[in-house]
Amino acid sequence: MSQPHASAREPELHQEDNTSTRSTPLKPLQDLAVVAATGTPKAFPGGPVELAFVVHNRGCTVDGARAHFSLPTKLGYVRWCLETGGGCTPGASLPQDPLLDLAEGASATLHLAGILVSTMRESLETRLDVDGPAGFDDIHPENDSLPHTTPVGLAPGLRAFCSVTPASEVHRNAGFFAGGTVVYSFIVQNGGPAADTFAKLHFPVPTGLTFSPPVPEFSWDGKLPAGETRWVSVIAQIDSGAAGQTICGQAKAFLHVGGQTSDGPGVLSDDLILPGDDDLCCFTVESPVMIPALSPFGLIGLAALLAALGLWRLRRRSFPALREPAGSSTP
């Protein structure tokens, strides 16, 4: 004989159990996602690149998430900014792994700007990974990363770029000081289609500088076939009385095709760090450093000056010159 089943109407035994507060804690929804990656449609060797990655928080509020960029070493002078609304312009040095605080449902855009080395021939492969703070259990790890490819190729025609750095970047001794030396560097590119081409570069000496030997203009010329780049540098001395002055220079490049001898219109060099076209390459000569008296207060001042000088040199090194990568040839 079967036992009767308890019906819904039957009084339950041990009703006090119904008031138990025991429960399985709800796990917070945690999902950071890199949802978009955009950038310069087509970059050229030695040219600027812009990238933007959008991170979206599809879960609960998260503080202290980390963003990690994978960037080739051929992308230099990298700056960044974090846009959480209203836009931003990359200007700060990129930290190791920028921190992100994102409210539930919020998005942030990480903008990068950099400059390719002039020998770059392959596409620029970049990627952003996001990772939550300790204990963060992302329910969709497959969307934590997004790659982006920037095609790279020479733009048609002739282009010229410039940069100027204190010779300390090469010789590690001094900065932009009166009596010191600077290096003006130029990139000259022939994006074609003209073949059998010969390039010339003319760089008038800026006021406040002296070339060695003293000449009114630095000149370079050489073969520049379609699709190739040349790197030209010249060292100049800053005049002793130039302290406090801003010194600017600009070269002009010309392309001769098929034995042509006249220069034609040519193109002006452009400082790629500056956002405009045909920007001059400028620097400001530091004012003389006054040495304080060697009193106790003077010694304190001297220590502060030396510390400031060290910081200044570190900052200079965070803005590297446009240089060929190690191992590349310089014609």
Dist. CA 179–CA 173, nearest whole Å = 12
Please state the closest distance from residue 118 (CB atom) to Ca ion, in A: 15
Minimum gap (Å) between residue 233 Cβ and Ca ion: 19
Residue corresponding to tokens 């974090």: 82
Q: Choose one: 130-138, 220-228, 232-240, 298-306; the region binding Ca ion (CB under 5 A).
A: 130-138
In angstroms, what is the minimal distance from the CB of 270 to Ca ion? 4
Segment contacting Ca ion (CB under 5 A): 32-40, 87-95, 153-161, 201-209? 32-40
Near Ca ion by CB under 5 A, which window of 25-33, 34-42, 115-123, 249-257?
25-33
Q: Which of 140, 171, 315, 317 binds Ca ion (CB under 5 A)?
A: 140
C-alpha to C-alpha distance for 107 and 12, rounded to whole angstroms? 51
**What are the E-state strand segments in the chain?**
32-39, 48-57, 62-70, 75-83, 92-93, 99-102, 107-116, 124-131, 145-150, 158-166, 181-190, 197-204, 209-211, 217-223, 228-238, 246-249, 252-257, 267-268, 270-271, 281-284
Q: What's the angle, vertex CA 48, arms to CA 122 and CA 193, rounded to 5? A: 60
Give the three-state DSSP class for 207: coil
Cβ closest to Ca ion, residue 270 vs residue 286: 270
Query: Is the distance from CB of 180 to CB of 283 less than 8 angstroms?
Result: no
Output 65 or 238, the one with its CB closest to Ca ion.
Answer: 65
Site for Ca ion in 265-294 (CB under 5 A): 270, 274, 279
Of 62 and 183, nearer to Ca ion (C-beta) is 62
Helix (H) or strand (E) holding 294: none
Beta-carbon contacts of 61 under 8 Å, excluding residues fewer than 6 positions away, are: 102, 103, 104
Site for Ca ion (CB under 5 A): which residue of 47, 138, 186, 187?
Answer: 138
Nearer to Ca ion, 31 or 286 (CB): 31
Cβ nearer to Ca ion, comparing 59 with 175? 59
Tokens of 183: 């290096």
Candidates 158-166, 189-197, 263-271, 318-326 — which segment interacts with Ca ion by CB under 5 A? 263-271
Instruction: State which residue, 37 or 226, has the beta carbon closest to Ca ion.
Output: 37
Which C-beta is closer to Ca ion: that of 183 or that of 322? Answer: 322
Q: Verify binding: residue 31, Ca ion, rule CB under 5 A.
A: yes
Query: Taking contact as CB under 5 A, which single stretch among the options 27-35, 62-70, 193-201, 236-244 is the one that binds Ca ion?
Result: 27-35
CB of residue 227 vs Ca ion: minimum separation in angstroms? Answer: 23
Q: Name which of 49 and 194 has its Cβ closer to Ca ion.
A: 49
Binding mask 214-253 for Ca ion (x = CB under 5 A): ----------------------------------------
Cβ closer to Ca ion: 279 or 286?
A: 279
Give the count of beta carbons closer than 10 Å to the beta carbon of residue 169.
Answer: 17
Give the residues across from 7 on adjacent strands: none
Decide if 184 contacts 234 (C-beta within 8 A). yes
3-state secondary structure of 300: helix
Distances (CA, A) of 303 to 88, 129, 172, 239: 37, 42, 21, 28
- Tell me which stretch binds Ca ion (CB under 5 A): 36-44, 100-108, 138-146, 293-301: 138-146
Interface residues toward Ca ion, by CB under 5 A: 31, 33, 138, 140, 143-144, 270, 274, 279
